[in-house]
Amino acid sequence: MDGITLTSSSTLTSTSGTSSTTSSSSSVTESAEDAYELFLSVLTTQLETQNPTDPVDVTELSSQLVGYAQLEQQMQTNDYLAALIQATAEQTSDVALSFLGTDVAYGSSAQDYAGGALTWTVEIPDGAQAVTLEVVDAAGETVFETTADSVAAGSSLTFTWDGSLSDAEGTADAGTYSLIATAAASDGSTATLDASATSRATQVTWSSGEPELVLANGTTISLDSVIAASAAA
């Protein structure tokens, strides 16, 4: 099996990505402060210009003061919310940066091939004795097939394909390829397994407004797409 790497390892640790959106908290705070200043100005003007013989009704004044207290409370809530959003955004960025240099499995089997090698990760279920691996092109045609025998149930199987063809010399044309993994049990039953594309995280970008991972295979993914990650071999 020239150029093909099959590695059985312990199950990759699942990692859920957390995404956050940094809102324009400063504009919200400024808007609330403007409203607060306007409220005080109107209330002060009303008290200064009231008729001494016909002062502002106590009930009305109490209602206005309650409104002031509610506005002040809302402003404090906005400040707390802005701080929470900022903290969440910073935490999400730290999580994204922690993926740099790791091999990331993400929720897609399709990968673009332009030479080099492609890697997939397959989780092996209980009862599986062997796994058939088929690399298919965008048209669904099988270009390479191999079988991994003596797989360990409960482990993860890492499969690397270098573009080799099963029925021809040379390597596959550039294009999009996916992996179909089928597990066979001792009783003859089979089951299709989920195959996740795997590539090394080389960069973090904020071009979309949220941190995203740029992978060695040229794919850019969100943190929500990350299924698992492992230290680079």
19-72 per-position pLDDT tens digit: 333 444 455 556 656 766 777 787 778 777 877 777 766 677 677 667 767 777
Where helices occur in the chain by DSSP H, the ranges are 25-48, 58-98
Strand partners, 230: 103
42 and 122 in a single domain? The answer is no
Domain boundary among 71, 98, 125: 98
Provide mean pLDDT across the span 83-92.
71
> What CATH number is given to the structural domain containing 176?
2.60.40.4070
With a pLDDT cut of 90, the percent of the chain lying above it is 25
Look up residue 130 and give its DSSP letter.
Answer: E
User: CA 180, CA 222: separation in Å to the nearest integer?
Assistant: 24
User: What domain count does the chain have?
Assistant: 2
Range of the domain at 89: 25-98
CB 142 within 8 A of CB 179: no
105 and 94 in a single domain? The answer is no
Query: Which pLDDT belongs to residue 19?
Result: 38
72 and 129 in a single domain? The answer is no
Domain boundary among 48, 64, 98: 98
115 and 227 in a single domain? The answer is yes
Region of poorest pLDDT, from 18-22, 67-71, 89-93, 184-188: 18-22
Q: What is the pTM of this model?
A: 0.56
User: CA 180, CA 63: separation in Å to the nearest integer?
Assistant: 69
CB 212 within 8 A of CB 221: yes
User: CA 127, CA 187: separation in Å to the nearest integer?
Assistant: 9
Query: Which pLDDT belongs to residue 134?
Result: 96
Measured in whole angstroms, the distance separating CA 92 from the mean position of its chain's CA atoms is: 10
Provide mean pLDDT across the span 195-223.
88
Domain boundary among 72, 98, 124: 98
175: pLDDT strictly greater than 90: yes
For residue 189, give every residue at least 6 positions away whose Cβ sits within 8 Å of its Cβ, in sequence order, or none: none
87 and 122 in a single domain? The answer is no
